[in-house]
Structure 1
Amino acid sequence: MLYHFNEGRIEAPDHVSDRTMHLLAPTPGTGEMTVAISKDELEADETPPEFLKRQLADLSRQVAKFTRGELLPAQLGAPEQKIGGSKFTVSYKQQGRTVHHVQSLFLLPDSHTVLNLTFSLPVPFTEEHHRKVDAVLASFVLRGKDASAL
């Protein structure tokens, strides 16, 4: 498999799957959120709601005081890309600290890859933070749809 990443590409061995995770950390002292981008694959015959249920069950077993907010519909990129998904808030205790996330999941056009964008803060999200999350989600351009994305 020819595998591309920002700095270049490699010829990856057969029978590996791309489980890339990108972490965009805020500049120290800014108080801004961390953005983690990862992807996963649906299991055979798994639907996106089943995937979400499985992921949340796994997370809730790994952390203390897990809570999830309302599941809301979300759009990734411009409406013409037709990449719908969902987003929700999550909080839990990890290493004695409460962590707050807005998690968003989107099934990509290949119908088996789930793109996960997780926004994290050490404090609860404000309306301004939610606007920033929505702006990041709206800015998504599917690779190949725009020459600048290549």
Structure 2
Amino acid sequence: MTAAPCDIWFYHLERSALEEVLPGLLEKTLGRGWRALVRGGDPARLRALDAHLWTWRDDSFLPHGLDDEPMADRQPVLLTDRLDNPNGGQALFLLDGAEPGDLSAFERCILLFDGRDEEALRLARGRWKAFKGAGHPVSYWRQGAERGWEKQA
């Protein structure tokens, strides 16, 4: 018996920055009882996100860490630029064109991209075709007028 392919969700950011959207998605992920692996391509950006996640909202605590810190494998949310999955995350968040790597360990892959960036759009379109061609169920979510998410495909 083979495992079901990882669901791929594309989040097209048009009205909000990644820093506004990512924490809420991570909270929902943890609310499902899942761990999250946040994979980015720029270590400096990941460090900035790490600092942001500690202070993003006064009434919320989002447990997380960076992959080069002690006990990274125990973090519910782990920020990394590597291709492994040391915290056993069920949800993979791809930022800034980061490579997906092997998706077999993940239930869901969430690719967030800036709709105002032509290169990010081009990369997202190419990944859509590749994931769909590989048999992954893909969904496309776009920010609505009220900043909520509307499933488009």
**Structure with the larger strand share:** 1
Higher relative contact order (CA 8 A, sep 6+): 2
TM-score by length of 1: 0.29
The structure with the largest alpha-carbon Rg is 1
**Structure with the larger helix share:** 2
TM-score by length of 2: 0.29
